[in-house]
Amino acid sequence: MDTTRGISSEWIKRAAKATGWEGELTRRGFLKLSACALTSLAFLDLGEAYGENAPLVILDNAQGVILADPTRCVACGRCELACTEYNDGRAQPSLARIKIARAVNFGPSGPTGGEAMHGDWGDGLVIQGVCRQCPHPVPCATACPQNAIVADPQTGARVVDAAQCLGCRLCQQACPWGMIAFDEKAGVAAKCTLCKGKPKCVEACPAAALRYVPWRDLTRDGSPTRPTLSVVPPETAKACLDCHVTAGAKATK
């Protein structure tokens, strides 16, 4: 069976038929399929997804990012409380943009982690879940059909505009790290805002297990912690294709 970059031609044909693009199995058509694939863009290396020599239009990254040190975490949960008290005006750890409670017993892999299991039932490490402030294309923002996840002008962090959020939870499905919270009471999603450049979780940690540092790409450190299912809205996919296309392809348009 013929393959293109490791993807079978049969798969491409089926995907094209399902999306109505069976007549566009050109490089341009393949790019469309890649942009709208039912997998988060976070799993796709940009070189593989859009061409190794593709000129990229890079959106500004966040100014900072929160680094977590599992060897220091004592699982006290103060960071989760500080997060929701500042952002939501109530103490509700389940809504926190930093995740501690879910990793206390077994770690990110859950009880099936085997010998690699963390937490109290494993090696004792509590692996904190923190927003990695993903670089462009930001999976949660790309998946949002309302463009409700936008860059904060002060910190550059992608934040949820509650007035625009419809509560569809597609951003939750798109985040490879499982870091999108959902406010059941308000019916809207929530993510790390970096607290205007002074993260309250960092300030509240008694063990210095969290640090706020200048932004760096953390998405390549470790593997995604959960499977994702993300459908990229057609309008977003089209906008991406206008940028992520080789110069040669543009010249032939």
The CATH number of residue 125's host domain is: 3.30.70.20
* 223 part of a folded domain: no
Q: Is the pLDDT reported for residue 56 higher than 70?
A: no
User: Distance (Å, rounded) from C-alpha 5 to C-alpha 179?
Assistant: 30
Contact 37, 43 (CB under 8 A): no
Domains in the chain, number: 2
Name the range with the highest mean pLDDT among 40-44, 117-121, 132-136.
132-136
69 and 188 within one domain = yes
Range of the domain at 17: 3-58+233-251
CA distance 161 to 148: 5
One domain, residues 39 and 148: no
Map residue 88 onto helix, strand or coil.
coil
CA dihedral 148, 50, 41, 28 (to 10 degrees): 70
My answer on whether 77 and 44 are in the same domain is no
Over the stretch 168-198, which tens digit does the pLDDT of each residue have?
A: 999 999 999 999 999 999 999 999 999 999 9
Whether residue 8 sits in one domain with residue 98:
no
Would 227 be classed as within a structural domain?
no
**Given this model, what pLDDT does residue 226 score?**
67
pLDDT in tens, 127-167: 899 999 999 889 999 899 999 999 999 999 999 999 999 99
d(CA 250, CA 253): 5
Would you give the DSSP letter of residue 58?
P
Q: How far apart are the first and last CA of the chain?
A: 30
68: three-class secondary structure by DSSP: strand
Q: Are residues 41 and 122 in the same domain?
A: no
- The SS3 of residue 226 is coil
pLDDT, tens only, 211-227: 999 999 998 876 676 66
Which residues does 241 contact at the CB level (< 8 Å), separation at least 6? 28, 31, 32, 35
pLDDT of residue 34: 45
Average pLDDT, the chain: 77
- The answer to whether residues 27 and 97 belong to one domain is no
**Regarding predicted confidence, which is higher, 112 or 49?**
112
